[in-house]
Amino acid sequence: MSLVYVILLISCVMVVLLSAGNANGHHDDCPDSFDCGTLGTFSFPFTTVERHNCGVLAIQGCNDPNQTSVKYVQLNNKGKPFQVTHVSSHGRRPRSISIIDKEFSKLLENGSCAVFNYNITVPPSSPMGYFDLQNNISTFNCSHHQHKLNHTNDFINYTNDFINYTSTRCPSSVFYFAPPSYDDQSLSSLISLCSMVKLPVRQDSQFIKNPFGFLNAEITFEFTFSDDCIRCSEDGRSLCRPDSNGKFHCASPTRKSRVSIRNLGLLLAWTLVAMGVVVMILVCCIRTKIFSLTSLLWWRETPTHRIIEELVNEHGPLPTTRYNYLEVKKMTNSFGNKLGQGGFGSVYKGKLQDGRLVAVKILSESKGNGEEFINEVASISRTSHVNIVRLLGFCLDSSKRALIYEFMPNGSLDKFIYEEKNPLQVPHHLNCKILYDIAIGIARGLEYLHRGCNTRILHFDIKPHNILLDEDFCPKISDFGLAKICPRKESKISIFGARGTAGYIAPEVFSRNFGEVSHKSDVYSYGMMVLEMVGGRKNIKTEVDRSSEIYFPHWIYERLASNQELGLQNIRNESDDKMTRKMTIVGLWCIQTHPSTRPTISKVVEMLESEVEFLQIPPKPFLSSPSSS
């Protein structure tokens, strides 16, 4: 129990009381009118986008500091914006809004025949009423094939005084115009044969020779209140308003004020009562020693919280995005696409809001107290290198932990180098050139971790499974759960217990009798991995003649030292042989038993980039073959 819980309890009580007090209210904060710069003031059915629930049609830009800025309105959901030129909503005049449709205006200005087929967007109706096009004329577009008439003038009288227009501008069509006073029955002959649209006309215009002259670029919509709204407003005291669901509501300002004042009094009274009860309970608990006063005043941290605080104090804020568990669940489509499974947990494919694909690693809840997780976030979030996988975010939500990485379409390296890894999944091994480039890329990534960062990062778990490949087979070092951050000046570090995976752990990590743990420990793991890339199989379980099991580093060393053919299936020409020999020599140097005999990772890069003739064969590794169990 802590003071935070007490505050939350009181807050919950206040929220419940406030909700109860406002149960009968609907948008009580809606003002009677809105100020909108050059448009002046307007009222219902119009509103602003900031108070979109207070009306039927919301106008954008009313809160712009520049009062002379252009105002816009969307006539339907997700529709294009239209410039607003005038709003009328006061007195006994009709409630109307005038807009400019730029596309329609341009067609009219250019005298395009397409203007007679243009569909004017009309705002949708609502329970409060509907909008209709004001000062309009019905336009019928009929092809010459449907109406073969011999016209001597641009305008002639047609049946029922419809006005017909033909022009050399629009040779394929005949247009008929009918004022709004004509009913649908009298228009039936044209409606059945021609396409009809309603177009805005000038209020004081007469039919003139050129119809482009009486059509209006400014479009006005008039609002007609529904019967419910009219009945609601008859007494002059009630207001027609939408409720929280957009349905009709008849609001009473006078009643609202009385209810608000009464509810405020009830809220204050009940809040004081609730606080009094809470204080009495706390006093009783303190007297009976259920908990102490100190525990009320300070938040009691969990081990994970303490680790996070210590990490932030030591290394500063984490420079990456933090997500909650619901966001992680959403980006993975409820964990629907599983990429893999390991001792740490599971990996799922996901997508961020910006469309980027990601790999989401969900850690098992039983995995420690969070130290490895936070360690990985702290280590990798400070890196930026082409051969280091990018951490795009993380999740630490109660016991839920996740890491969000950039997605690597080719997966991990181990899928491409082990024969015993289901050969049906990978049609062929990577060729020597690709493997050679991968080896150099990993070495450069390690060199960056050891020398290129502000703080030296030792990985302690370099192995094929932790090397990811992008679409171009560019390698990326991943999984920093066992990494150790240390100052660049320190060449030796202290660790508790062995770190890494069996078969890749340096001897000094097991026993300090072999030397001090340092960046050379990563070099050993790198060498073991390179030799597995060369052999296309695990070092600790290699069947060369398909009948005997031997330790591959010893086997390849004997061949190299006696200048024999390496006898590996992946070698197809002299260039392949040179690259393979170079990788083999480098790998054997890296797995030397004593750390002082191993090269630095920078020297490894230099050796890989030099000619194989200049490389010396190292001494034979001292350790015997590890167990294959």
Contact 9, 224 (CB under 8 A): no
Q: Which three-class secondary structure state does DSSP give residue 300?
A: coil
Task: Give the integer Cα–Cα distance in Å for 315 and 455.
Answer: 10
Domain locations in the chain as residue ranges:
136-196, 301-407, 413-629
Task: Give the integer Cα–Cα distance in Å for 4 and 9.
Answer: 9
What tokens were used for 50?
């900031």
What tokens were used for 189?
């002959």
Range with the lowest mean pLDDT among 29-38, 474-483, 587-596?
29-38
| Cα torsion 263, 268, 273, 275: sign | positive
User: pLDDT tens-digit profile of 248-298?
Assistant: 778 765 444 444 555 666 777 787 888 888 777 777 765 654 444 444 444
| Cα torsion 468, 473, 476, 477: sign | positive
DSSP character string of 24-89: T-SSTT--S-EE-GGG-EE-TTEEEGGGGGGSSEEEE-TT-SSTTSPEEEESSTT--EEEEEEEE-
b/e map 339-362, b = 16+ CB within 10 Å: beeeebbebbbbbbeeeeebbbbb
Closest CA to 36 of 94, 87, 77, 1: 87
pTM exceeds 0.85 for this model = no
What tokens were used for 400?
């839920």
User: pLDDT tens-digit profile of 604-619?
Assistant: 999 999 999 999 999 9
- Residue 535 confidence (pLDDT): 85
**Confidence band of 552 (pLDDT split at 50, 70, 90):** confident
Closest CA to 537 of 425, 415, 410, 420: 420
User: Is pLDDT above 50 for 158?
Assistant: no
Higher-pLDDT residue of 374, 440: 440
**Confidence band of 204 (pLDDT split at 50, 70, 90):** low
Catalytic residue among 461, 479, 522, 576: 461
**Looking at residues 530-559, what average pLDDT do you find?**
71
**Looking at residues 45-56, what average pLDDT do you find?**
87
Residues making up the binding site: 361
User: Is pLDDT above 90 for 409?
Assistant: yes
Residues making up the binding site for ATP: 361
Higher-pLDDT residue of 515, 285: 515
Q: What is the mean pLDDT of the chain?
A: 77
| CATH (residue range 413-629) | 1.10.510.10
- Residue 264 confidence (pLDDT): 65
- Residue 330 confidence (pLDDT): 95
Task: Give the integer Cα–Cα distance in Å for 274 and 10.
Answer: 7
Q: Which residue has tokens 């039927």?
A: 56
Q: Is 228 a catalytic residue?
A: no
For residue 564, what are the contacts with CB-CB under 8 A and spacing of at least 6?
A: 558
**Looking at residues 370-399, what average pLDDT do you find?**
81
Range with the lowest mean pLDDT among 131-145, 214-228, 328-342, 397-411?
131-145
Which helix (DSSP H) or strand (DSSP E) does residue 589 occupy? helix 574-590
Most distant CA pair in the chain: distance in Å? Answer: 113
User: pLDDT tens-digit profile of 94-137?
Assistant: 789 999 999 999 988 888 888 888 888 888 888 888 888 888 87
DSSP character string of 456-516: EEE-S--SGGGEEE-TT--EEE---TT-EEE-TT--B---SS--S-TTT--HHHH-GGG--
Q: Which residue has tokens 């590794």?
A: 621
- We find that the CATH architecture of domain 301-407 is 2-Layer Sandwich (3.30)
Contact 498, 477 (CB under 8 A): no
**Looking at residues 168-196, what average pLDDT do you find?**
63
